[in-house]
Chains A and B, each alone.
Chain A
């Protein structure tokens, strides 16, 4: 049973804002990105390492810098405490599975350290699909 998206957003924000690895180098981690989980979409807005807002019901023209799109099943694999090979990161899943990286990837690269750490927090809070 997938967790409600608003409950998930609260957990994800709390984990991010209290993660020591992100916060020790959180300054300037400012960008926005879409998690497209097929059955659910959210836009996460970051400001200086903290979650400024999570839009849990994005409209078609709501802006973001870059997007991660994959099937709900792939997102469920990302969220396992010990993910299977090829579901253990965005590079692995984009090379070998159905993850698509879209939008302004330069922003992703500019924030890659913290984004990568934050993405792995899904293993603690699960996904809303």
Chain B
């Protein structure tokens, strides 16, 4: 008897800002759509624990996609992308997510992302509160400078190992070795996209003057950050949530910047609470 996972993968082709993307996504569950974004330079296997967690798949239609240039989602097939430097912008990132949700016909999805996925969750709450039931920015802040570094793809170093070990201590020492090394493994696969992702994360994403324009009473914003995250320390997230009308901040003990990937068993406890708050506020 084959030991098949209930998780299935599919491709969908969408057009975003003139780019044709064939997007790969994993899916499991039924009910309220919950669409999940991986971290910069990684791919959707970071959500492997959640995708197979029956407590959540019972009530949530969980979708975890690979952003173009990550995992099994290629760069655009209709452009000579190898002739230009990849730099992700907030506008294109938001447009992509909305187009993907449209293509998958997701009605009032909850968007959840970590790190640069958390920062784009804030962008979605600002720009498209009409399209999302709620957002869960994980390890996010209004501004996160300092990580757009040349080291991520320096030709004199092993970029795969620099990226993978460069994010190693974004994780908590309490997280299981297997999960930390799997996260390391994912990072060893995404070095070419990592720096371009971080252009969004550390440069183009800057909501310091915009937080007052996010209304979490219209589109709930539940932010969560682990205490071992040095890049978006808990105080940065808390400070961001405090400036959003109706924003919620949850601090996560004994976990770092990749909570769903480095320790799903700890993360799921906090996610349960975030979803409870969203249900309470949205009915």
Contacts and interface: CB of A to CB of B under 8 A. Distances in A.
A105 B166 CA distance: 13
Contacts of A112: 157, 161-162, 165-166
User: Main secondary structure on chain B at its contact with chain A?
Assistant: loop
Interface in A86-129: 86, 88-92, 95-96, 105-106, 109-110, 112-113, 115-116, 123
Contact of A110 (B156, B170, B172): B156
A113 B164 contact: yes
- In this complex, the interface size class of chain B, counting residues with CB under 8 Å from chain A, is 20 to 34
B227 interface: yes
Interface residues of A, number: 20
Given A106-B156, A110-B157, A110-B158, A83 B231 contact: no
A60 interface: no
Contacts of A1: none
Given A85-B227, A109-B151, A91 B162 contact: no
A82 interface: yes
A112 B151 CA distance: 11
A88 B154 contact: no
Given A83-B173, A89-B169, A112-B165, A95 B231 contact: yes
Contact of A88 (B161, B173, B233): B173
B184 to A, nearest CB: 9
A57 to B, nearest CB: 30
A106 B164 CA distance: 16
Interface in B182-233: 227-228, 230-231, 233
B146 interface: yes
A93 to B, nearest CB: 8
B156 A92 contact: no
A88 B169 contact: yes
A113 B161 contact: yes
Contacts of A82: 173-174
B270 interface: no
Contacts of B227: 85
B168 interface: yes
Given A95-B146, A95-B231, A109-B151, A90 B157 contact: no
Interface of A: 82-83, 85-86, 88-92, 95-96, 105-106, 109-110, 112-113, 115-116, 123
Those 8 A-B pairs whose CB atoms lie nearest each other, nearest first? A89-B169, A92-B230, A112-B165, A109-B157, A113-B161, A113-B165, A110-B157, A116-B165
5 contacts: A82-B173, A83-B173, A85-B230, A88-B172, A110-B157
Given A89-B169, A112-B162, 17 more contacts: A82-B173, A85-B228, A86-B228, A86-B230, A88-B172, A88-B228, A90-B169, A91-B166, A92-B228, A95-B146, A105-B151, A106-B156, A109-B151, A109-B157, A112-B157, A116-B165, A123-B173
